[in-house]
Structure 1
């Protein structure tokens, strides 16, 4: 079963919404930084999940990059 972030990213990719994906990545990065700065709590599992989310988001952004590239005819 796909994780929620995969479904969200897939939806943004289908809508070609780069801005929403960038915003989502920025939000996750800020959250990871905040959690890493915390003391007195073990946030390793949460940080790992957030970093996995960022990987999924970046894969979605890469899909949009690939789709935006012009198709060049292959040379013979």
Structure 2
């Protein structure tokens, strides 16, 4: 079963909505910045979730860059 972010990215890929994917990626990058600079609390799990979201979003963007198969 796909995760929520995978389902959202898949929908945007089907709709060829590159702008929405780029916006989602930028928002997550903004969320990641303060987490990377915190040393007084353990932010590893939050960082991991955001990095996974970014990975999935970038996979969707790559699908939009690639020519369709078949």
- State the TM-score, normalized to the length of structure 2: 0.88
Q: Matched residues in 1 for 2:64 and 2:20: separation?
A: 12
Residue of structure 1 equivalent to 2:7: 7
Please give the residue correspondences for 1:32-51 in structure 2 after superposition, counting only pairs within 5 Å: 32-51=32-51
* 1:36 to partner: Cα distance: 1.4
- Superposition RMSD in Å: 1.3
The structure with the larger Rg is 1
Matched, 1:26 2:35: no
Gaps of 5+ in 1: 69-76
SS of 1:21 mapped into structure 2: helix
- State the TM-score, normalized to the length of structure 1: 0.82
For this pair of structures, how many residues does the alignment match? 68
Gaps of 5+ in 2: none
Q: Which runs of 4+ in 1 moved over 4 A?
A: none
